[in-house]
Every structure is written in structure tokens, then in C-alpha cells.
């Protein structure tokens, strides 16, 4: 009979592959030999068949690794000469002994984690031994190790009982773990069963009688007893469940299961959970069975979830450890194995790349492996040991009182690249051990050297690494001399002098100043050299109105004793009289429907006055000198002022509603002086005005503008004032306007020192309503019990449209004319108060409803002109 | 709370029942005439029931029918009377004045907390003036909590109140208010339908206890049973339902209205009414075939978003009656209108349940805010404009014979 390769693949190779590409330990199984083979020729043929098959599989993606392993093992067996049946039998017997020993060790290990196991565990152990042992042998080994093997586990509820959460909350408040303890007390700890119904070890059941007794005991407790109400709540929930057959037992089982699930969810093994169950009082066998059932069924899910999470987080090694607890045929376990294989291939390829000098490619592969197995410290170390390519184009420049070093990143393709910057004096550091360290830049391509030595030639080198000691060659910047300019320059000009002040670096040796007239000096020899201190100078005897330029440079002593000079800065100044602050700015509001602000002030003798506006009060007192950058933050008004006959300047402004602050600024050529400010309030109208007609009343609503305290409401024939407090506390405003179309205006009112300010009106138009016509239904008289008289009365004279009387037998009065049978019709006719229109109708027998509607044939516009009000339900109901 | 003179009382804070003589006293902690005093200590009973963990002078037993008693430890006299079950301080006049317990219940997101806040605010302002009545918190905690946790966020900060947490929280203490009117009967009118009791000539006090359970507590029979005690003690029940949880009404909501999260079957108003009915039936005290006589106000909230769909002649499109009495005719018209709307909203099952179980029920349509809130959970910038929020409260008081009724 020819050898069946497909059967061999399914029964031998596939399990071996799933077990991590480990060749079966049983040589008969490994070579596909029948256990009773005795013919040396047939033996030799089968060995060759198997060997040929393995060689074919070497090129296959799935079985390649396993085939390589099988061929390698075959080579080992064949080391001592040709493989004979006799030698094979001897080796097989030895391997068998080793397997039985290994099985015993595995069973002992299993006993450390479980008290009860099922068929899945048996299969897992068999699989671990390459299926070279039988189920019976595994079962026997487990039982000898003290583990009970069961064929099936009890079915546990997949989800908590609906009342379990509430019950647990109350039970916890009573410092108990199970509700049965509330009923039976400590007897529960002495033993109970829960599979197949709750019962104590002494056979007592938790039934209605037990609950009644517990309730009586709770009822006898004083009100002051802390747990009285909670105990009653527990008993109420149990009693509720007891009303449905089987529900109480299901609830009690759920209590036990949910208590234990919290441990399963935290990764405790089955034996530990069985121990917890015994602590609850559950008898030993049920404790083990329930704990094992939790692992056999859906409770594996938390473990799977954890494995998934570890894989997602790139922690393959942790996932491998967790996956060992999953069944051998679990797909997730296979995925873990496949990822492990992928990591191995990546590492091997990286080794080959390194051998061929392709370092970045090797780093890329190691980084990929580390992404999958981030918890494999060896991978991270190997990656860190590969120096990355150096960074490019390093440069250094003086920036204020520090040196800024920057560079282009390293072209490294993998790993997290760090940079180390070293500063050298006169020579470039060639390794990270040379020079002075400048704070390492993590994730940035520049660094600030805050303590560069003054006046020296500084050369910066930048090294790259992947987190380890191995680093790239340096990228070196051009040398730079740290000689900063003075900072914080301030210029104060007077009629014929200029005062300049600055801040010099603490290491400054001297400050050089050269003055130019009409243009900036080009260097130390271009202009008039002035004597200056380290803090500033005063230049007197200048011509008023002439523009001067001051070139200022700091000098330093270098470590070699020479002098170094900063690049220098230039500041302009024009001697002129000091600008003076405005002291009498005034603002008034003209309200002629479109509020306008008029600002006026006395112009000062020197400087140009400009107005600025802001919502907040200005932070500076009058007389403060501010810089141009301060003034740049204000909203200036560009319109030119008008000079009045009284010598005051004035400006008319349109500003949005709200509170504003006007500020007068006096500008000089080199200074700005703050004057006084004036506050103005402009009033805005109410917003989003809405009106809802409610018969003759209208409910009004709006959004109040900030600062408005009242409104005035006007409508034809009425006016009402409403405060904001009343609006807020009494829920809006309702006014009575009558039936006609009405236009309503609402004006916001603001408090003001000069009296109240009233905002422009917000308008809303409310459509009119139809003429109200009411009808009543009464009996015609005792002689005509089935007759009804319908009488219509209007609120004012009008022309009645055609109406219909409709009868329906449903549970409610008819909602529209189509909802029932038309019993009568009222023709169009005039109607007035005191002259009602009536119609008498004869009703069929039986209870019904009677209602009146505008004839559906009447045009909509005419129908809407009427509001037909029905009588009380009692009149419409015909009994 | 006293349902009739001589009968058992219900504590307005924990709803346990007890006889008047069982009322206990709390020592004042002040120094007595002979120089002794009691030190404050943590009251474990009060802490267990309400979560209050501050130290207080001790509680002692004495004849609760008296209004004062000497402390057996220090000898100092005290007038502070406390509930024997929860040790909460009982309102002044408790047991001596006629008290009503009105329980407010409702489904999740039906707006119970907002409704209660707006109702009490209205009673403290416009409605109080209209009814010639004064409403105030019956204890410091209610006054403080109502002002800071309910009224201020809603009225001053325009912030909708956070959903009520579930009733498992032991420190959810009811808000208790005292409703006071001038003498000669409530509202200063002769409207007592022939009833009389002591003190009729002077100011009349009625205690109102609002227990505000989380909506989730009423979705299923299982969680409702924890609150059965509150319903058993209630003189009247106000059940707030959200019409927008009914498919037929939801599709009629005005465009732009904020709709509640579509609920499960448990959130449907008919299911909530069924659960409440089961609970009231479970409180016992009636024959199997007997209808429930406890007044039940079935209140449909958020009517502002359905207003545009109402007929021009609908009573829900006219202003509420503003008078110091309960207007039966107006209320009946609203009841009939809601009955009609229930058919339109695919909610006729509610009417069937009500008819089959209740002797005394009434429908109401209200809007606590008057306008749909903004998407960021704030009151409309146009403010709070309640509509008919007092109607269920007035009806319940009228059913209990506590206010005059105008018929016809």
C-alpha cells in the first residue's frame, strides 16, 4: 500500500509545525512508520520516502523550517552509520522512556495550576509531546499528579443575572460576600452546593420559609441598627427572584460565579480560583469544577484579550508567555508562533546584512523586530549597538546671550536617533568624550549653549546614536566667537541731548559708541567716537530736530588675552522737546437713534495726539512713557481731529454697543506718553426677540444685552416695563394683545450716571387669530333621548362657514371630520353673540362621540379664520 | 408626614413610618443649668442613612408627642426632634401639622430634576404670589442644597443639571420644603370641602418632600423595588414622562429640537408606567380587583418642542390659569387633549394601563424650560420660561383636599 503523504502531512507535520516546528519525538511517528514494522527493506524504503518528502518541503513557505529541522535531526541519527531497523528500535525505546518522564513532569506542573481539567488539557499535553503519547496515558499521568480529569464541565451562565449587581452592592454594604450569608449566617462558610440548586451542607435550602424567617429577624431589629434597611433590601431582591421558579437558584449561582470571575479576570490560575471558591464555603469538588468550567468556556476570553493587547503593544515575549495557557489549536497561539518566527527571520537577515556591510538595512530589520518584540531587551541592545550615519550641515551662531547650534538630521533609517553636542575651544571634538557637553537634544535638531565662554573660538561637533554608546562620526560646525551685543537699549531724547542706556553682558570689557549724523556710522572710524560706561551714555550739545545714529559695540577679552568685538547695533535718535500727556480727555454720547461718541481734549504743546480704544481699562497711569511695541497692541483711531473755537480738539466716533475706554496718546519722534482715559457706554438692543401667541396673550422672549437692567415693551394700546430680575425669576413676559395682528417693540434700558439710556427697538409682528366660536351639546329633552342640540356662539359677529357634525364610536372623540360618520351640516350664515346658531341631530343607538368641525370643503384660508372650541368631554360623549 | 390625625407618621427624609411618641430628641450640646454638657460625636445612624459624618450632640429617647424634652445625660432641655429611624432633624411642627408627601418619579432623561427645580423656583416667586403662599426649605440642608446645587446652576449659570445618580447612593437625601399659607384655610380661602383640623385659623403648613430618584432606577422592576418604600409613603405620585421617547411624538418634534437618547424598551413611557404600577400594587393594602386610589399625575414634559403640532384651539396653546385655586375645567380639557395626543403619539397603551389600574389619574402637558436646551447642555440664551409646571402639583394638592377647586 503506497504511503499517503497527505495523511502524513495532516497527522504528523501539521501538529509538529504548530508546536513550534519541533520534529516529533517518536521516531515511528516522525518517519511515518507503522509501529509493527519488521521488514528491513520496507523500513529502508519508508525512511527514504520520508526524507525525499522533507527535502521537497524545504522550499515551501509553511513547512520549510520544519523540513530543515527534520533533515538536520536525520543527519544526527545517521552520524553513526546507516539507519537500520535495529538501531531505530533501540533509539525509539529510549525516546519513549524520555517521553513518559517528560509527561510526568508536565502533569506535575499542571497540578500546580489546576485541580480539575478537561479534554482540552489532555489534548494540549499530548500535543506538547508531539502526539507520541495516548489520551489514556496523559489522563493516567494527570490523575497520578492529583488532577481530576472530567469529560465535561457544568454550563455556567455567560452573563450575570440581572439582579446580581444590585444584590452584590447591598451585600458588600453588609460586609458579606454572598446573600445566603444574610439568610443563614456563618452556616454558609461551613459548606454549600450551588450546582443544581443552592443547598447547605446540612441540606437546608434557601426557600420561601428561610426568607420569611430572615425577614422576621430583620424586622425585629431596631431602626438604629446600621444594616437594617440594607438587609431588608437584600431579602426583597431574593424574594423577588423566588417568585419565578428557578430564578433564585440562578441568582445565587450568578453571585458565586461573578465573585470568582473577578479573580479569573486578573489572571489567577484555576487552582487559585478553586481555593477562593472553597473560602466562600463551596464544597471542594464543586469549587474545582466551577473554577475549571470558567477556564474551559468563555473565561479564556480575558487571557486571549490580554495576549491581543500585548501583541498590539509590541510585547511579543510577554504575549508568548501568556499564550502558553491557551489551547494548542488556538488561532491566537498560532499567530504568536508566526510572529516569533518572523522576528527570528528578521534577526537572521540583519546578521547577514551586517556581514555584507549593509548596516542601515540591518538596523531597519532589527527595528522591525524590536517593533514586534519591544520587550526583548536583546533586540534593543543590538539595534543600539549599530552607529547611525552622522548628521549633516551643522552650524553655530551667536543669538543674543547664547549660541545656537543646529544641524540636519542623520539619514538613519531605523531606531530612535539621539544627538550629542560637544563644544571644543579652538579645535573640533572628534569623539563624544572630547570637549564640553552641551545639553543633549532629544528629538530636536538644534540646541542652545547657554554658557559659552566669552571671546573664544568655539567649534561644535554633533554625534548621532541609537540610544547606545555606539555613535556616528561627528558633524562639525564652523568656528564661532561668542561676543554678544548689548541688549535692552533705551533712548531718551531732550531738546539738545540724547541719553542712551543698555544692558551689557557681565563679561564685557568695554562698550564702544560712535555717533553719525544724518546716516548710520559704518564702523569705529566713521563718525564721532563717544565715551560710554558699561550701562550707557549721555550725548549733549546736539542740534534740535537733527537725526543722529549711534553705533554701539561691546568688546571682550579672549582666553588668549586678545580682544574680541561684537557685531554692533545702530539706534536712531532725534533731539526734541518731550511730548506731554493729555490731561483732560472727555467723551460724551450723542443719542439720536444712532449713538455716536464725541471725544475732546486740549492739545499739548509738544507731540501729536492719537486716540486709542479698548474694552478694558488701560493699565498705565497718565504720564507713563511707553514703547512703540506697547502702542502696537492698541486699536488706534486714524481719523484726524477737528480744532474747535475754544482751542480744544475733538473727534466723532461710531463704536459698537458695549463699554469702551478711550485713551489719548501723545507721540514724539522717539517717545510716546500716555494721557488720561475716558469710559463710554453704548447701548445695544435686545436680540433674538420671539413672540408666541397664546390665544389673546403673547409670550415674549429675548436675549438680554450685557448691562441692560430693564426693557420697555410697547404695542398698540399698551406699554409695560419689565426688569431683568422679574424676567429671570418669573419666566419671561406675557402680555395681552387681543385677537388682531400686532406689532410689538422691545427696547433695552441701561442705567447711566446721566440717567437711563434706551437702546434701539427690536420689533416682532404677531399674526392675528381666528374668531373664537364655542359650541355646546345638550339633550333635546326627556321625550327625545337620542336627540342632541348643538348650539354655536361666537365671541363677536361674524359669518359662519359651513360646519359638519361628526359621530364616532372609537375610544376618543374624533380628531378630524374624516374620523367618523357625518350626522348633520350647518350651512354658512351670519352669527353674533346673543344670536346663537343651533342644529338638532338624531343619534343612532349606542355609545359614541359627537363633534363639530369646519366642513373640509371650505377653503383653508376661510377655515383658519375660525377657532372652533369644543365643549367639555362629558357633553361630547354620548352614552 | 401625617396622612390623618392619629395615624402613623412618615419621615420626610427616609420615609420610614413610626408613631408620634417614637420621635426622638437631639441634645443641644449647650451647658445645662448644673454645668454639664454633652460632647458632639459621630451619629452612626445618621451617617449610615444619609452619609453625614459630622459630629453632633447625642440622640435620646423621650415622649415624642411633646415638643421638648430634657437630655438624660446633661439635663439641658432641647426642642430638636429627630426621626427614630434615620436621626434626621424633623421640621418644626412635624406631626403637629398636616403634611403631604408628593413623590416625583420619571424615566431617564425625562427632566425630573429640572422640573422639580423650576417648580420650586416658581413656587418661591410668581406662583407663590399667585397662590398667596410661601415656600421655603424645611431644613438648612434643603435650603443650601436647593440654592447651590439646583437653583444656582440652572437659573444663574444657565447650566442644565447633571443627570441624577442611581438610588444606590445612600446619601441622596430628599429635599423637604414647607409650604405655608395664611390662616383660614390654605390660600386664605374657604376651600376645605368641609374638612377641618386644629389650627385652621392660623397659618397653615404643608410639608413637601421631593425624592428625586435617578431615571435608571425606574427602567425595570428590579431597580424600582429599592424605592418601594418611598411610593408606599406617598400621598400622591407625580410621574414625569418624556413624550420624545415615544416614536410617534419623536417624529413630530420641531426641527432643531434636542432629542433624548433613544432608549430601550425599558425607557418607553408605557413601560415606566407599568413598573410604577407594579410597585404601587406591591405596596399592598388593597384587594386584588381594587383600583389604585392614590392620585397619579401623569405628566408629559418638554411640550415646547411639540407645541407647533398642536391645534390652534388646544388648551396647551393658551396661558395657564393664574388663580389661587385649582381650575378643574381647564385641567379636564388638558387631560382630554393629552388623551387625544396619546393616540397620535402611538401611546394609547399608556391610557389603557392608567384606566385599568387607577381610580384617580390625570394627564398634564408641561414645559419646564419653555425652549429646547442648547447642544452644549445650557439653557436657551432667552432664559427659562416654564409652562404649566404647577398644574400637576395643584391637582395633587386638590385631590388631597388641600386646596380649593373651581368646577365648571
Check pLDDT > 50 for residue B39: yes
Residues in chain A: 879
| Shortest distance, CA A170 to any CA of chain B (angstroms) | 9
A688 closest CB neighbour out of B85, B155, B381: B381
Q: A226 vs B45: CB contact, 8 Å cut-off?
A: yes
Check pLDDT > 80 for residue A403: yes
Q: Mind giving me the DSSP string for B236-262?
A: EEEEEE-GGGSHHHHTTSPTTPPPPPP
- Torsion over CA of A187, A188, A193 and A198, rounded to 10 degrees? 100
Instruction: Identify each DSSP E strand in A742-820 by its residue range.
Output: 742-750, 757-766, 771-779, 787-794, 798-800, 803-808
Q: How confident is the model at residue B341 (pLDDT cuts 50, 70, 90)?
A: very high
Place of cell 381666528: A770
C-alpha closest to that of A852 among A813, A809, A794, A797: A813
| Shortest distance, CA A802 to any CA of chain B (angstroms) | 18
Check pLDDT > 80 for residue A763: yes
Joined together, the cell numbers standing for residue A344 give 527570528
Share of chain A above pLDDT 70, in %: 96
C-alpha closest to that of A9 among A48, A60, A44: A60
Residue B381's closest chain A neighbor by CA?
A: A703
- Of A137-141, A618-622, B165-169, B193-197, least confident by mean pLDDT is B193-197
- Of A178-182, A228-232, A303-307, B294-298, least confident by mean pLDDT is A303-307
pTM of the model: 0.54
Q: Write out the H or E segment, with its range, that includes residue B394.
A: helix B391-399
- Of A34-43, A309-318, B214-223, least confident by mean pLDDT is B214-223
Contact A262, A168 (CB under 8 A): no
Residues in chain B: 408
pLDDT score for A11: 83
Q: Which residues of A touch B121 (CB under 8 A)?
A: 729
- Of A543-557, A787-801, B196-210, B249-263, least confident by mean pLDDT is B196-210
Residue predicted with more confidence, A798 or A21: A798
Q: How confident is the model at residue B284 (pLDDT cuts 50, 70, 90)?
A: low
Joined together, the cell numbers standing for residue A38 give 519488521
| Shortest distance, CA A752 to any CA of chain B (angstroms) | 24
Cα separation, A121 vs A149, in Å, equals 9
Cα separation, A748 vs A687, in Å, equals 10
Contact B120, B388 (CB under 8 A): no
**Based on the number of CB atoms within 10 Å of its own CB, is A245 exposed (0-12), middle (13-18) or buried (19 or more)?**
exposed
Q: A694 vs B317: CB contact, 8 Å cut-off?
A: yes
Contact A483, A457 (CB under 8 A): no
Check pLDDT > 60 for residue A576: yes
Q: Which residues of A touch B48 (CB under 8 A)?
A: 226
Interface test with B, best of A224, A687, A854 (most B CBs within 10 A): A224
Q: Which residues of A touch B220 (CB under 8 A)?
A: 162
Cα separation, B188 vs B202, in Å, equals 10
Reduced DSSP (H G I as helix, E B as strand, rest coil) percent helix, strand, coil of chain B, to 5: 35, 20, 50
pLDDT score for A215: 85
Interface test with A, best of B216, B385, B407 (most A CBs within 10 A): B385
Contact A578, A606 (CB under 8 A): yes
B222 closest CB neighbour out of A163, A727, A872: A163
A186-199 as b/e: b if 16+ CB within 10 A: ebbeebbbbbeebb
Check pLDDT > 70 for residue A469: yes
pLDDT score for A535: 92
pLDDT score for A549: 94
Residue predicted with more confidence, A94 or A733: A733
pLDDT score for B285: 66
HEC secondary structure over A448-470: EECCCCCCCEEEEEEEEECCCCC
Q: Which residues contact B247 (CB under 8 A, 6 or more apart)?
A: B346
The answer to whether residue A705 neighbours chain B at the CB level (below 8 Å) is no
Cα separation, B23 vs B38, in Å, equals 20
pLDDT score for A102: 83
Check pLDDT > 80 for residue A752: no
Q: Mind giving me the DSSP string for A724-758?
A: HHHHHHHTSEEEE--SS-EEEEEEEEE--TTS-EE
Number of other CB atoms surrounding residue B99 within 10 Å: 25
Q: Which residues of A touch B86 (CB under 8 A)?
A: 223
Contact B239, B396 (CB under 8 A): no
Interface test with B, best of A174, A696, A730 (most B CBs within 10 A): A730
Q: Specify which of A592-606, B94-108, B287-301 reaches the highest per-range mean pLDDT.
A: B287-301
Check pLDDT > 50 for residue B126: yes
Cα separation, A663 vs B272, in Å, equals 64
Per-residue pLDDT tens digits for A623-676: 998 888 888 878 888 888 999 889 999 999 888 777 789 999 999 877 789 999
Q: A731 vs B44: CB contact, 8 Å cut-off?
A: no
The answer to whether residue A345 neighbours chain B at the CB level (below 8 Å) is no
Interface test with A, best of B383, B387, B390, B407 (most A CBs within 10 A): B383
Per-residue pLDDT tens digits for B47-98: 887 778 788 999 999 999 888 999 998 989 999 999 998 899 998 878 877 7
Contacts 24+ apart (CB under 8 A), A238-244: A238/A167, A238/A179, A238/A183, A238/A206, A238/A211, A239/A208, A239/A211, A239/A215, A240/A163, A240/B221, A240/B222, A240/B225, A241/A161, A241/A163, A242/A207, A242/A208, A242/A211
Q: Which residues of A touch B317 (CB under 8 A)?
A: 694-695
Q: Is A802 left (phi over 0), alpha (psi -120 to 50) or beta?
A: beta
Q: Which residues of A touch B125 (CB under 8 A)?
A: 729-730
Joined together, the cell numbers standing for residue A358 give 549593509
Per-residue pLDDT tens digits for A689-706: 999 999 999 999 999 987
Q: Which residues contact B266 (CB under 8 A, 6 or more apart)?
A: B219, B220, B272
| Shortest distance, CA B37 to any CA of chain A (angstroms) | 23
Contact B180, B141 (CB under 8 A): no
Strand A742-750 to strand A757-766: parallel, antiparallel, or no bridges (unpaired)?
A: antiparallel
Q: How confident is the model at residue B193 (pLDDT cuts 50, 70, 90)?
A: very low
Reported as half-sphere exposure (CB side, CA atoms, 13 A), residue A393 has a value of: 4
Instruction: Identify each DSSP E strand in B306-387 by its residue range.
Output: 326-327, 361-365
Q: B226 vs A695: CB contact, 8 Å cut-off?
A: no
Check pLDDT > 90 for residue B300: yes
Q: B318 vs A697: CB contact, 8 Å cut-off?
A: yes
Joined together, the cell numbers standing for residue B211 give 425624592
| Shortest distance, CA A7 to any CA of chain B (angstroms) | 54
ipTM reported for the complex, 2 dp = 0.84
Residue A172's closest chain B neighbor by CA?
A: B168
The answer to whether residue A338 neighbours chain B at the CB level (below 8 Å) is no
Reported as half-sphere exposure (CB side, CA atoms, 13 A), residue A86 has a value of: 2
Q: A731 vs B85: CB contact, 8 Å cut-off?
A: no
Query: Across-strand partners of A398?
Result: A403
**Based on the number of CB atoms within 10 Å of its own CB, is A633 exposed (0-12), middle (13-18) or buried (19 or more)?**
exposed
Place of cell 420610614: B16
When pLDDT is averaged across residues B190-195 and rounded to a whole number, the result is 31
C-alpha closest to that of A542 among A607, A495, A489: A495
Q: A695 vs B329: CB contact, 8 Å cut-off?
A: no
Cα separation, B385 vs B367, in Å, equals 8
| Shortest distance, CA B124 to any CA of chain A (angstroms) | 9
Q: Which residues of B touch A868 (CB under 8 A)?
A: 313
Per-residue pLDDT tens digits for A191-246: 999 998 899 988 899 988 899 898 888 878 776 677 777 888 888 888 888 888 88
Per-residue pLDDT tens digits for A597-619: 899 999 998 888 999 998 788 88
The answer to whether residue A572 neighbours chain B at the CB level (below 8 Å) is no
Amino acid at each position: 500500500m503506497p504511503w499517503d503523504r497527505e495523511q502524513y502531512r495532516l497527522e504528523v507535520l501539521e501538529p509538529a509545525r504548530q508546536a513550534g516546528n519541533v520534529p516529533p519525538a517518536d521516531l515511528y511517528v516522525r518517519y511515518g512508520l507503522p509501529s509493527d514494522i519488521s521488514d528491513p527493506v520496507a523500513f529502508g524504503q519508508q525512511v527514504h520516502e520520508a526524507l525525499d518528502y522533507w527535502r521537497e518541503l524545504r522550499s515551501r513557505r509553511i513547512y520549510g523550517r520544519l523540513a530543515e529541522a527534520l533533515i538536520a535531526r536525520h543527519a544526527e541519527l545517521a552520524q553513526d552509520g546507516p539507519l537500520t531497523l535495529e538501531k531505530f528500535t533501540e533509539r525509539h525505546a529510549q525516546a519513549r522512556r524520555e517521553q513518559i518522564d517528560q509527561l510526568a513532569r508536565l502533569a506535575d506542573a499542571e497540578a500546580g495550576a489546576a485541580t480539575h481539567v478537561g479534554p482540552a488539557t489532555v489534548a494540549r499535553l499530548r500535543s506538547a509531546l508531539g502526539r507520541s503519547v495516548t489520551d489514556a496515558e496523559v489522563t493516567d499521568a494527570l490523575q497520578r499528579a492529583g488532577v481530576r480529569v472530567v469529560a465535561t464541565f457544568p454550563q455556567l451562565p455567560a452573563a450575570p443575572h440581572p439582579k446580581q449587581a444590585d444584590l452584590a452592592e447591598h451585600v458588600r454594604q453588609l460586609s458579606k460576600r454572598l446573600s445566603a450569608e444574610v439568610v443563614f449566617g456563618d452556616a454558609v462558610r461551613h459548606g454549600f452546593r450551588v450546582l443544581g440548586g443552592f443547598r447547605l451542607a446540612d441540606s437546608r435550602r434557601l426557600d420561601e420559609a428561610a426568607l420569611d424567617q430572615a425577614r422576621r429577624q430583620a424586622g425585629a431589629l431596631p431602626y438604629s441598627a446600621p444594616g437594617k434597611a440594607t438587609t431588608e433590601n437584600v431579602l426583597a431582591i431574593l424574594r423577588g427572584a423566588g417568585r419565578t421558579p428557578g430564578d433564585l437558584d440562578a441568582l445565587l449561582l450568578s453571585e458565586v460565579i461573578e465573585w470568582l470571575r473577578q479573580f479569573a479576570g486578573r489572571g489567577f490560575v484555576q487552582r487559585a480560583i478553586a481555593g477562593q471558591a472553597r473560602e466562600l464555603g463551596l464544597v471542594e469538588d464543586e469549587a474545582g469544577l466551577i473554577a475549571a468550567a470558567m477556564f474551559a468556556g468563555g473565561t479564556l476570553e480575558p487571557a486571549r484579550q490580554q495576549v491581543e493587547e500585548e501583541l498590539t503593544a509590541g510585547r511579543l515575549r510577554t504575549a508568548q508567555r501568556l499564550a502558553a495557557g491557551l489551547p494548542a489549536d488556538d488561532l491566537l497561539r498560532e499567530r504568536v508562533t508566526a510572529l516569533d518566527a518572523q522576528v527570528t527571520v528578521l534577526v537572521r537577515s540583519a546578521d547577514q546584512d551586517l556581514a555584507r556591510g549593509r548596516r542601515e538595512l540591518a538596523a531597519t530589520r532589527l527595528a522591525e523586530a524590536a517593533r514586534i518584540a519591544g520587550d526583548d531587551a536583546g533586540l534593543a541592545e543590538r539595534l543600539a549597538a549599530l552607529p547611525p550615519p552622522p548628521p549633516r550641515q551643522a552650524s553655530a551662531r551667536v543669538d543674543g546671550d547664547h549660541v545656537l547650534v543646529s544641524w540636519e538630521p542623520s539619514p538613519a533609517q531605523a531606531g530612535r536617533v539621539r544627538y550629542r553636542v560637544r563644544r571644543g575651544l579652538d579645535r573640533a571634538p572628534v569623539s563624544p568624550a572630547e570637549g564640553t557637553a552641551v545639553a543633549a537634544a532629544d528629538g530636536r535638531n538644534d540646541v542652545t549653549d547657554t554658557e559659552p565662554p566669552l571671546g573664544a573660538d568655539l567649534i561644535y561637533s554633533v554625534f548621532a546614536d541609537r540610544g547606545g554608546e555606539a555613535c556616528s562620526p561627528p558633524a562639525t560646525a564652523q568656528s564661532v566667537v561668542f561676543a554678544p551685543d548689548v541688549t535692552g537699549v533705551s533712548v531718551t531724547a531732550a531738546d539738545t541731548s540724547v541719553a542712551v542706556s543698555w544692558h551689557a553682558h557681565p563679561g564685557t570689557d568695554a562698550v564702544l559708541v560712535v555717533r553719525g549724523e544724518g546716516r548710520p556710522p559704518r564702523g569705529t572710524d566713521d563718525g564721532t567716537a563717544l565715551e560710554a560706561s558699561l550701562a550707557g551714555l549721555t550725548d549733549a550739545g546736539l542740534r534740535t530736530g537733527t537725526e543722529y545714529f549711534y553705533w554701539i559695540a561691546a568688546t571682550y577679552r579672549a582666553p588668549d588675552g586678545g580682544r574680541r568685538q561684537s557685531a554692533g547695533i545702530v539706534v536712531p535718535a532725534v533731539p526734541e522737546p518731550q511730548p506731554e500727556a493729555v490731561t483732560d480727555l472727555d467723551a460724551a454720547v450723542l443719542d439720536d437713534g444712532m449713538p455716536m461718541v464725541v471725544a475732546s481734549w486740549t492739545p499739548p504743546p509738544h507731540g501729536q495726539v492719537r486716540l486709542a480704544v479698548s474694552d478694558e481699562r488701560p493699565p498705565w497711569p497718565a504720564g507713563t512713557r511707553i514703547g512703540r511695541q506697547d502702542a502696537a497692541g492698541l486699536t488706534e483711531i486714524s481719523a484726524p481731529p477737528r480744532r474747535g473755537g475754544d482751542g480744544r480738539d475733538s473727534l466723532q466716533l461710531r463704536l459698537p454697543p458695549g463699554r469702551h475706554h478711550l485713551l489719548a496718546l501723545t507721540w514724539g519722534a522717539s517717545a510716546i506718553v500716555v494721557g488720561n482715559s475716558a469710559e463710554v457706554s453704548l447701548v445695544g438692543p435686545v436680540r433674538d426677540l420671539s413672540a408666541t401667541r397664546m390665544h389673546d396673550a403673547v409670550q415674549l422672549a429675548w436675549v438680554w444685552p450685557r448691562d441692560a437692567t430693564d426693557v420697555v415693551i410697547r404695542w398698540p394700546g399698551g406699554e409695560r416695563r419689565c426688569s431683568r430680575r422679574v424676567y429671570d425669576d418669573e419666566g419671561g413676559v406675557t402680555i395681552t394683545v387681543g385677537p388682531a395682528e400686532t406689532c410689538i417693540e422691545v427696547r433695552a434700558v441701561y442705567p447711566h450716571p446721566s440717567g437711563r439710556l434706551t437702546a434701539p427697538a427690536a420689533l416682532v409682528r404677531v399674526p392675528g387669530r381666528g374668531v373664537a366660536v364655542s359650541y355646546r351639546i345638550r339633550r333635546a329633552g326627556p321625550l327625545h333621548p337620542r336627540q342632541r342640540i348643538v348650539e354655536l356662539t361666537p365671541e363677536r359677529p361674524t359669518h359662519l362657514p359651513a360646519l359638519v357634525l361628526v359621530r364616532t364610536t372609537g375610544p376618543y372623540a374624533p380628531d378630524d371630520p374624516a374620523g367618523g360618520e357625518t350626522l348633520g351640516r350647518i350651512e354658512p350664515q351670519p352669527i353674533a353673540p346673543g344670536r346663537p346658531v343651533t342644529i338638532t341631530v338624531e343619534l343612532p343607538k349606542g355609545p359614541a362621540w359627537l363633534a363639530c368641525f369646519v366642513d373640509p370643503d371650505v377653503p383653508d384660508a376661510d377655515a383658519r379664520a375660525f377657532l372652533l372650541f369644543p365643549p367639555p368631554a362629558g357633553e361630547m360623549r354620548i352614552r | 408626614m401625617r396622612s390623618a390625625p392619629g395615624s402613623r407618621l412618615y419621615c420626610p427624609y427616609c420615609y420610614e413610618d413610626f408613631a408620634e411618641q417614637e420621635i426622638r430628641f437631639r441634645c443641644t450640646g449647650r451647658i445645662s443649668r448644673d454645668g454639664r454638657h454633652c460632647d458632639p460625636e459621630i451619629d452612626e445612624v445618621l451617617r449610615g442613612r444619609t452619609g453625614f459624618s459630622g459630629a453632633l450632640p447625642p440622640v435620646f429617647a423621650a415622649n415624642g408627642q411633646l415638643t421638648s424634652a430634657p437630655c438624660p445625660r446633661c439635663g439641658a432641655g432641647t426642642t430638636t426632634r429627630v426621626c427614630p429611624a434615620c436621626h434626621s432633624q424633623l421640621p418644626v411642627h412635624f406631626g403637629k401639622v398636616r403634611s403631604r408627601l408628593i413623590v416625583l418619579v420619571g424615566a431617564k432623561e425625562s427632566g425630573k430634576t429640572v422640573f422639580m427645580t423650576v417648580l420650586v423656583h416658581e413656587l418661591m416667586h410668581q406662583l407663590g404670589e399667585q397662590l398667596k403662599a410661601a415656600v421655603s426649605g424645611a431644613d438648612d440642608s434643603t435650603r443650601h442644597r436647593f440654592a447651590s446645587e439646583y437653583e444656582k446652576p440652572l437659573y444663574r449659570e444657565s447650566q442644565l443639571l447633571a443627570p441624577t445618580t442611581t438610588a444606590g447612593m445612600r446619601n441622596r437625601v430628599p429635599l423637604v420644603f414647607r409650604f405655608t399659607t395664611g390662616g383660614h384655610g390654605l390660600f386664605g380661602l374657604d376651600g376645605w370641602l368641609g374638612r377641618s383640623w386644629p389650627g385652621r385659623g392660623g397659618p397653615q403648613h404643608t410639608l413637601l418632600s421631593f425624592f428625586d430618584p435617578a431615571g435608571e432606577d425606574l427602567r425595570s422592576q428590579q431597580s424600582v423595588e429599592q424605592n418601594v418604600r418611598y411610593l408606599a409613603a406617598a400621598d400622591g405620585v407625580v410621574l414625569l414622562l418624556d413624550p420624545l421617547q415615544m416614536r410617534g411624538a419623536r417624529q413630530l418634534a420641531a426641527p432643531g429640537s434636542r432629542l433624548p437618547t433613544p432608549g430601550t424598551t425599558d425607557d418607553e413611557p408605557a413601560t415606566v408606567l407599568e413598573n410604577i404600577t407594579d410597585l404601587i400594587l406591591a405596596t399592598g393594602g388593597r384587594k386584588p380587583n381594587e383600583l389604585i386610589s392614590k392620585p397619579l399625575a401623569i405628566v408629559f414634559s418638554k411640550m415646547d418642542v411639540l407645541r407647533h403640532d398642536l391645534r390652534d384651539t388646544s388648551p396647551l396653546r393658551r396661558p395657564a390659569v393664574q388663580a389661587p385655586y385649582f381650575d378643574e375645567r381647564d385641567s379636564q380639557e388638558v387631560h382630554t387633549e393629552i388623551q387625544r395626543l396619546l393616540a397620535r403619539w402611538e401611546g394609547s397603551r399608556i391610557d389603557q394601563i392608567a384606566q385599568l389600574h387607577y381610580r384617580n389619574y390625570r394627564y398634564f402637558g408641561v414645559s419646564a424650560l419653555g425652549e429646547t436646551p442648547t447642544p452644549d447642555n445650557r439653557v436657551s440664551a432667552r432664559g427659562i420660561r416654564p409652562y404649566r409646571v404647577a398644574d400637576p402639583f395643584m391637582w395633587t394638592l386638590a385631590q388631597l383636599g388641600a386646596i380649593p377647586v373651581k368646577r365648571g
